[in-house]
Structure 1
Amino acid sequence: MARKRRGRPVHGWLILDKPTGVTSAHAVARAKRTLDAEKAGHAGTLDPGATGLLALAFGEATKTVPFIADAHKSYRFTVRWGMSTATDDAEGAPLATSDLRPDRAAIVAALPEFTGDILQVPPQISAVKVDGERAYALARAGEILELAPRPLHVGRLALTDMPDADSATFEMSCGKGGYVRSIARDLGARLGCHGHVVALRRLATGPFNLDGAVSWEDLTAPDLAERILPLESALAGVPELCCPPALAVRILNGNAMALPGAGLADGETAWASRDGVPLAVGIWRGGALHPSRVFVLGDNR
């Protein structure tokens, strides 16, 4: 007999402004407990020492997590010059030091090398898998890892402030799999002064930003459910196809359906709705939508 799920059906997204010192998993658990939700997750881990946007998904919205996890993200971060560390942030043991401090002109001149399509070596403490194991687990066990460089698209990297000679603040937008700590490490190496991250804040992820984000304290508020965004918030920019009511059952059963495609090309992602309620998301091919994820919401149950 299948085990009955605990909690109630809650569907949608909650945007948290995560404080420092909190893990992403702890944030999910706190919100899930307040909402008494059956199912919850998040779209993209934010390190405990980092702050800012953490997108929490509930119920059927968890099926749209890949759209947020794969989306471009924006960050603001501060690099401290003069030292590299084992973790590329302030938590790690020092590896090398330097008395050299770069001036504004040198920093700005180096930034084009870190924008566009680049190759980036992840930090030792990262979620990258090595022979089936997470890099952070191996590194914390004392292994020195040779991680392969990975392709990354950096849309923007700009120097925004120099509080003092020892530090500089940047803003960056990048694609999936980008590590701010690696940017700080490699930029410090390029400038010949070493560097590591001392502050990191995520500003945006895909269609979500910090406008209207809930605080850590809000996660225990009795009106938290009123702050939840609809499931389709994660599908902003993805074409919507309106499904006639008579065809909704076929879509919900996972059958490919010919729908008005509005000029969609084969291989393009789209989602189907009925009277504004999301039914499924899938791939447009051969004049039909082929569902890959079906949503069970409201009167679709």
Structure 2
Amino acid sequence: MVLPARDEGDRVGATVASALGAATVPDDIEIVVVDDCSSPAGRPRVTAGADRRRVRIIRSSRHLGVGAARNLAARHASGRLLFVTDAHTRFSDGWDSVARKLIAPRRILSVTIRDQASAWHGYGCRLVIPHMGTHWNTSPPGPTPHVHVASSAGTVIERTLFELLGGYDEGMVHYSGFEPEFSVRAWRSGAEIVHTTDIEISHRFKPREEVTAFLGSARTAMVHNCLRFGTAHLPESMILEMVRLHALEFPDHIREALLMLEERGAWRRREQLAASLPYGFAWFVRRFALRDQIGRPVPEA
């Protein structure tokens, strides 16, 4: 299991206790936590005893962000399967045996997410084009349980596939967009994302006041990440529309986000993916009969 933690403190210990307590074979579980430059008071804390012995904490002296922290944790993990989650989650009974049963080569599992404070459930996500955000699926998938985007707090993947895909895009900054970009890249590589309702992760979503404070400090990075995601995958005819939408919605952030886009080599990234992935974005559009966010067909070029 890999999880990044920034100023999560005791929540990490509670997550570890839940994961091991709900596991069928807890002795087979290895948990790698990346302390993503937490403040002294917010560093991950895990109680002594069996829980502590199953955990490795890797400390970073600089703020890596979600993608790089997950990648670092994955490099330190030794198991065949990686379960990517957050530092404030609870696990359904037998989650480990279900993951081993359902995983397969070229398959990524997306697990069900439940809000700890309500009855809300999320069943993977669907892509919003050309904004390049996501909406949760709030109903379970049908008989063919494929989803566009895996659940960010519950993604199960074989290590070999994770390494083949190159992990999460470290050209993105801090927060937002990592799971959608990784998922689209996985589909374009020939993998599939299958949702399961047999594993349920209870997740602590930020209360409104925390969300407001978080967005105030992270918005420019979030806009950049959406733009980088779209530049990497969208048909060229939609990239300008994506930029226009973000400029209208976030006029105070768009200029710096565009500068970051150039500085971090977004177009070079696009060229690399086009040369290395066996399927183009047009294939992904056809695979899911995608429409844009106002219901128009998505162009294939």
Q: Which has the larger radius of gyration?
A: 1
- TM-score (structure 1 length as normaliser): 0.22
Higher relative contact order (CA 8 A, sep 6+): 1
More helix by share: 2
- TM-score (structure 2 length as normaliser): 0.22
